[in-house]
Structure formats: C-alpha cells, structure tokens
Structure 1
C-alpha cells in the first residue's frame, strides 16, 4: 500500500498552530488536491509529507510505514515546486537526469527513462537547451520531467502551474492528468485555484486556518458543501447564502413565506435560524415567483449573463446566471428555484444540516 495517512497531525510555529489535528488518508494511486486560501496550511501539509517540515505531533504513514521522523531523502518522493527550481547552467537533459545521476542509476536506465519522459512531455529536441532558452510552459514541463524520471510512488506538486498564463495552464492540467493515469503514483497537489482542483482532483481536501473543512469528490463538494465556508469558496460565482427563518413548516426569506417540502421538515424543523444556499445557475428568472427583487446590473459572460439582484426587505444581493439568449432587463425581476438544488446551513455554526434521504 503506497497511500499516505495523517493521524492527528499538528504543526506549530512558536505560538501559531499552522495545522490542527489533521486526519486524512490519501489512497494509493489517487490524485488528491489540497485546496484553500493563502495561509490555510496546505503547503505546510505537503512539505511535511516531503520531510521539509518537521511534525510537531501526530503520526505520518507512507507506504504502510511510519515516516514521521524519516529524512526527506529516504521517503522516495518526487516534488515539483512553484518556482520550478531548475539549474540555469544545466541543459534540459542534465536538469532532468541530475537526481538519477546522484543516485548512480545506470546510464542505460537513465537513457531509457529520460527519453520516455521527454516524449510524453513533448520536449524531444530540446535536450540541449538551457532554461533561459525555454518558455514558461517548457520550464514547467522540465520540472515535471525531473520528478517523473524518479518513478517515485509519491508525487507532490506545490502550485506548479501558477506561473503559467491561462491557456498554458489549461493545457498543463490535461497533461498532468494523462501523466498520472500513465504512472499512477499517489499524488498530492496544492493549489488555491478551484478550477485546477475541480478538473485535476479525484478528491479534494478543503482547508481553512489549518483545519480540514471537507474531503470529498469535486462533484459532492460543489453540490453538497459541508459548511458556509466551502459553499462560498467553491464556485464561480460563489453560492448565494440567504438568512432564513424556519417556522410553521415554512421558510421565511426576505419577508416571503415559502412552503417547505415535507422531506425537508425533519431536518429544518430542528433549527429556527438558517442560511439557505443556492447556486446562481440554479436560480431561474420566471413568472412563477418565489422571490422578487430588482436587477441592478447585468454582466456579459459570453455564453451566459450574470444578473446582480437586490432583495427589497434586507437589501441583500444575490446572483443569478442565465443563458445569453434569455433577455433580462434592469428593474423588477421574479425568481424561482427547485428545492432539490438547495442547501441549508445552521446560521450560527455554519455547518450543513444535511439532506433528505
């Protein structure tokens, strides 16, 4: 088993707790994304796996062995850094093979591995170029190549695509998934970019202030966020969160009474003050009004329009996404949504109250 297991892992810097009681299992051969805002502890978590950061308390297991205090060089990991860390005086070939030569791998094996990686990364013909002669995308692929030739069971990536432009980043994401499917190492990938997380990851671990908020597949995190932080962090634009009151088998939203479906009652009736979450793309502009508001501004997103709507009673703003061909004008607007697309959160704790069976 070449998985990675965190058991009550903590990391402190003097009086600052960077990681707090992290319990997490990265399954053998999966792509797990560590996602969160700057300072949430995701890079620190990755560096602890690499052995570049000490662990204050807890147990780290890799490949079925406890490695909490094992030196970095003995962990058999391959790592790609944000700044690529290429040697400027070395050629592409020398950069990629440097680690293998230090390990005294045979020349035949180095030749075989490196040629295969160069072919996969479309770097054949660039073997003798120095980093200064390469584009940003090519440098990124050299850094990936240097990690891949190690054929390590653990593949760690720390925001490897952040220096690329949008088009190269999209291409690189596709290449990363193909590479992983070919070699199938256990992969941990740190990013603050939710698009990377949703497209590359098989599972996503969302962190905030050193605490794991949710661990699940991209689809489940998007459709069933564990709390209001996850709901507001995932999605472009983010999920609308509206304060609501639950009484008399109904939700009161901005002064409007909406009958709550019977299947929601056992969950919602336990709370009085809730937050209703609904994605902008799940709100419909319609004549069958559930909510009324005012369309203040309409963003043109090409194939879609994003409508900024203010509600009359509490003045809260919500967003609605509609197809570009649907004509919507500024001014009074009527909205509707399906109960199957909502989430309800406790207004105090922010935790999701659950979903009907």
Structure 2
C-alpha cells in the first residue's frame, strides 16, 4: 500500500493560490514526474506529500490513509532536496547514516545499509571525506545515498540534478532508474527539465499555475498533448502551433490550402479557426509540400538541423532533419503525415481529439 491520492487538494498562501484543485493518483512503485515551469506548484505539491507544507483544503492519502494531519516524521518518506542539504562538518558516511543513528537502528544494520548504498552510488573510498572535499556530482550522490539507506516506501526528489552539468545529469538519470528498479519505492520527482521527465518517468504530471494540465505516459503526452501549453512546453524544439481557418473541408494556412482528411473534417466541423500542431521532426522540406514558405534560418543541432520556415502570413514553422540533407533555397514546401497532426481549439487551447490513423493521407 504505497500509493498516493490527491482529492481536490488546494494550497494557498493568503489570497495566492499555489495548487488549485489537484486530483490525481500515484500508483505504488511507479516513477511519477511533476513537470512544469518555475512557480507552477510542483515543489509545493512534493512538500505536501512530505508533510513540510499543510493542505489548505481537500484530502491527501498515502497508503490508503488520510495524512493531512500526520507529522512529517510519521510519513515514512525519504527526500532529496535541490540544495542537497549535507551537514558540512560530517563525513560522507556520517551524512548518509545520521538519520538511521537517530532512529537508534542497530549498528550492524546501519553498516550494512551504508555499505550497500556506497557501492550502488560509486562512493566507496570517499566515506571519510567532508562535503567541501567533494565535487557537485559526488555531493548529489551522497544526498541520494542518505535517502536510499532509509529504505522508505516513498522517495521524493526536488530537482536533485539541476546543479550538475549535462554529462553528469545523464549519468545520474541512469543511476536513479537503476536505484528505483532495485528497491521499487513510489518515486515522485520534481523537475522543469523535460528530458529528465521523458527519460525517468513512467508517467508525467504537467502543471501550470497550480493546475494539472495532463497526466499520462511520456509517449502519450508527447504525441497527444492535452492543450497548447503542454504542446509548447514538451519538446525541443517544441511542437509547431500554426493558426489556420477551416472551411468546406479545407484548411487555410497563409497562402496554402490543405484538403483535410474526412476523419478530421468530422472533428473540425464546428471550428472556423484552429491551431494545427505538428512536431518539427514530422515536417519534411519538399518542393511538393502543401504548405509553402521560405527558409529564414537554419540552426545547427549537431547531427541534426532545424530550419525556420516563414509562411505567407508571417507565421513560422520549424522542421528538424538530418544534418547531411541539402536545404532548398528560396520558396519551399513542407509536407507531413496527417497521422502526426493535432488540432487545438483557438479559444480554449484544448486538443480537439484524434482521428483514425488508417484514414490518414500525406499532405
């Protein structure tokens, strides 16, 4: 019984609403990512689970028990803070085992847990160093080890990798997944980094201004974002959102007229204007493309290139392609598969729906 359930949870500071009517469940043993921009309420949500913030209204359950009034020390959670929060006067080993010693755990058990955590996180040989003698990556691993030795059913992480460089972050992501696969706690991980979210999470909860925008697997959120915020937040570069008019089965974008597949026509019947969402990697530069424009800028992404195509009405459409592919000059076209298209309501920003991929055709 290690699941977590939010039922209409609110958190406010005075008149400022930080978490607004949050309802979601976290399955026992899963890795759930709380993803969103700064100030969206993700850390506050994590701290409510830990008991470091009170619930203003609603119900928070852990393991089937309502914990609104349960003290942090009685919730049996292990937490890794963004700042690591290591004791500067204690050695690596003492930092890792301090919580266990305070619980009067038998010395043999403390030693066993400490040695196992040191080995798992490649800290063997650093036991007697002080935090000031460690690199950023080593400090991060000590903080993880301190949480790991507790062997709690809940593992809470607040942007633990944000202080590391790109290479260390990649290594640390791999270590986190291995740790979870080994102990299988219910893991809640806060980040604003979509790469971390996509690679670590079983599911992702996307938050914005305290409101849950979408809760689903990484693949579903990437392919079928619930609204324009999720579409623009997930992806590097983000999804193209091109505004167009819809009339008599045709989508008008700039100087282009696109015949919409019949399956989409049924879903768009009540719309006069929509945002067409298409991922840059699903757009192909082609002289025969249905959407026409001019290449304004090409960004070098290493093994890939990102071309900025300016459409006739001034909108921009991004395409990502292999670095060795030639880039057409002057007026060009963009083609795509309707199977990869999302349409969003211009007024609400919500995803209008999906259509049968078997009925798709190439634009």
Aligned counterpart, 1:64:
64
Residue 294 of structure 1 aligns to a residue whose secondary structure is: strand
TM-score (norm 2): 0.97
Residue 164 of structure 2 aligns to a residue whose secondary structure is: coil
Aligned counterpart, 2:231:
231
Deviations 1:143-173 (A, max 9, x none): 0000000000000000000000110000000
Give, in whole Å, the separation in 2 of the partners of 1:188 and 1:151.
15
Residue 110 of structure 1 aligns to a residue whose secondary structure is: helix
Give, in whole Å, the separation in 1 of the partners of 2:289 and 2:184.
50
Aligned counterpart, 1:130:
130
**Paired residues of 2:19 and 2:45 also in contact (CA < 8 A):** yes
Structure 1 portions without partners, runs of 5+: none
Give, in whole Å, the separation in 2 of the partners of 1:247 and 1:329.
31
Displacement of 1:268 in angstroms is 1.0
Residue 235 of structure 1 aligns to a residue whose secondary structure is: coil
Aligned counterpart, 1:164:
164
Alignment of 1:189-208 (within 5 A): 189-208=189-208
**Paired residues of 2:155 and 2:187 also in contact (CA < 8 A):** yes
Residue 101 of structure 1 aligns to a residue whose secondary structure is: helix
Displacement of 1:322 in angstroms is 1.3
Structure 2 residue 108 is matched with structure 1 residue 108: yes
Deviations 1:248-270 (A, max 9, x none): 11211113221111111221112
Residue 125 of structure 1 aligns to a residue whose secondary structure is: coil
**Paired residues of 2:306 and 2:320 also in contact (CA < 8 A):** yes
Give, in whole Å, the separation in 1 of the partners of 2:255 and 2:13.
48
Displacement of 1:329 in angstroms is 4.2
Residue 175 of structure 1 aligns to a residue whose secondary structure is: helix
Deviations 1:288-321 (A, max 9, x none): 2201101011111111111011112x11111111
Deviations 1:179-210 (A, max 9, x none): 00000000000000000000010100000000
**Paired residues of 2:255 and 2:292 also in contact (CA < 8 A):** no
How many aligned positions are there? Answer: 356
Deviations 1:208-262 (A, max 9, x none): 0000000000011000000000000000001110111111112111132211111
**Paired residues of 2:246 and 2:273 also in contact (CA < 8 A):** yes
Aligned counterpart, 1:41:
41
Residue 221 of structure 1 aligns to a residue whose secondary structure is: helix
**Paired residues of 1:278 and 1:341 also in contact (CA < 8 A):** yes
Residue 86 of structure 1 aligns to a residue whose secondary structure is: coil
Aligned counterpart, 2:143:
143
Structure 2 residue 356 is matched with structure 1 residue 352: no
Give, in whole Å, the separation in 2 of the partners of 1:109 and 1:289.
67
**Paired residues of 1:242 and 1:275 also in contact (CA < 8 A):** yes
**Paired residues of 2:246 and 2:272 also in contact (CA < 8 A):** yes
Residue range with higher mean Cα deviation, 251-260 or 183-192: 251-260
Give, in whole Å, the separation in 2 of the partners of 1:349 and 1:273.
12
Give, in whole Å, the separation in 2 of the partners of 1:286 and 1:72.
59
**Paired residues of 1:296 and 1:331 also in contact (CA < 8 A):** no
Aligned counterpart, 2:361:
none
Give, in whole Å, the separation in 1 of the partners of 2:167 and 2:219.
24
Give, in whole Å, the separation in 1 of the partners of 2:289 and 2:17.
48
Runs of 4 or more consecutive aligned structure 1 residues displaced over 3 Å after TM superposition: none
Structure 2 portions without partners, runs of 5+: 357-363
Deviations 1:115-160 (A, max 9, x none): 1111100111111111011111010000000000000000000000
Give, in whole Å, the separation in 1 of the partners of 2:347 and 2:126.
58
**Paired residues of 1:308 and 1:318 also in contact (CA < 8 A):** yes
Residue 355 of structure 1 aligns to a residue whose secondary structure is: coil
Aligned counterpart, 1:299:
299
TM-score (norm 1): 0.98
Displacement of 1:335 in angstroms is 1.2
Residue range with higher mean Cα deviation, 163-172 or 325-334: 325-334
Aligned counterpart, 1:12:
12
Aligned counterpart, 1:341:
340
Residue 163 of structure 1 aligns to a residue whose secondary structure is: coil
